[in-house]
Amino acid sequence: MTQQQPAPESFPTKKIRRPNKNAPIVVTPPSSLTYPNFSFDIEYRDTKTKARIGKLKTPHGTIETPNYIFCGTKGAMKNLSMPQMREAQADIILGNTYHLMIQPGADLIEKMGGLHQFNRWDGPMMTDSGGFQIFSMGHGSVADEIKGRGKNREKSLLKITEEGAKFRSYFDGRELTLTPESSIQIQRQLGADLIYQLDECTAFHNDRTYTEKSMHRSHRWGDRSLAEFARTHDGRQALYGIVQGGVYLDLRRESCAWTRDRPFFGTAIGGSLGGSQEQFHEIVQLHSELIHPGRPVHLLGIGKIIDVFTCVRMGIDTFDCVSPTRIARHGWALMRGNPEERINLRNAKYRDDPTPLDDSMDIPASTQYSKAYLHHLFKVQEMLALQIVAQHNVAVITRLMREVRAAIRAGTLDQLQREWLPE
């Protein structure tokens, strides 16, 4: 057996001098940046809402927006090959910097020609900065907090400093450090088209004092990310800035202004978005009035069907979420025309159901296997079930996005929502 090389203890970063160890690191970001191989052209705007149709051009192709970015967390889609993703009509995928820097490591992926060559995806790709995984795995997600999970889990986050985040590798226990500079360097090695500044993702339970302190540090990290990006900018990647501020609307306003005034290519909405649907909607709606109007807008980690309908009306251009493939592993199949969005194929009522998942779809995963067969596969723990339902779920979401774009143009988004989610 070949022994895996240990992960490095830290990643190279430029040493930045400051008056004392507690002083903020202030770096002047570039006043302007051009992105010669990228563009975002808004082709149509809804007259009643903020919904819009756009073309997002990257070196690996152009996608229409609104669109959905599927999460290939560790460089692979769960239970699906890239040809199967294409068969399901996926346009763009995402890789997670946090996981890829630990295994197999950015150096190896760069040696193999970058993530596109490594996993054989030939379309546009996004990578996050690694920040979300560091902080969510270090503290537990908001869902963990609400449901009381993870209380006895050993925390991986060791320390947040002005320089960056120190954490423990879940793979071999080594201490690692991620800084704004090293996050950009690693994302350069991975080679995705669309990349992110490093930020701290605060949770719902964080109070205002901490959230404000964290937001300002994320802004300083964003300026450092921009400076490092500009230092090695060669036209192959475009950088997104991230709005933070938690549930505090005045902080969100300040962070919107910060991203708008920096030369980012795109804007992402991150951090805690509230403890209820009403608060979530209020926060997202606020951004639509304040962020840069000409840049693509990405909503981080949100991707339920109802959220797509709600948030495209607020000007969101792209979404990402692990949900389509994650729920497939638990027997849940997404369904058009179901008020609950999905069905549980493990339920006994599907034991003798001869109907396919959706005979109006155009892939075998949706049309050629009965619910009874899929129920059987899940009951006997046959891995084929995960593959079939995962591809079906991806295809349902890509169909959703195509129909949403058509409905925005036709002015029939309300009608389409009723067709997908009948009351």
Q: Would you please indicate which residues are annotated as catalytic (active-site) residues?
A: 128, 320
Q: In this structure, what token pair is assigned to residue 123?
A: 């379309």
Closest CA to 415 of 99, 67, 404: 404
The residues, ordered by sequence, that sit 6+ positions from 235 with a Cβ below 8 Å of its Cβ are 35, 36, 37, 59
For the chain, the straight-line distance linking the first and the last C-alpha, in angstroms and rounded, comes to 56
Q: Dump the DSSP string for 152-212.
A: TSPP-EEEE-SS-EEEE-TTT--EEEE-HHHHHHHHHHHT-SEEE-------TT--HHHHH
Cα pseudo-dihedral 369, 375, 381, 385, rounded to 10:
30
Q: Using alpha carbons only, how large is the chain's radius of gyration in Å?
A: 21
Q: Please tell me what DSSP assigns to residue 331.
A: T
The residues, ordered by sequence, that sit 6+ positions from 351 with a Cβ below 8 Å of its Cβ are 372, 375, 376
How many whole angstroms from its chain centre is CA 124? 14
Cβ burial of 262 (10 Å; 0-12, 13-18, 19+) is buried
How many whole angstroms from its chain centre is CA 247? 20
Amino acid found at 214: S
CA distance 242 to 126: 14
Q: In this structure, what token pair is assigned to residue 148?
A: 């009381």
The residues, ordered by sequence, that sit 6+ positions from 28 with a Cβ below 8 Å of its Cβ are 223, 227
* Coil/strand/helix, residue 321: strand
Closest CA to 184 of 175, 195, 200, 168: 195
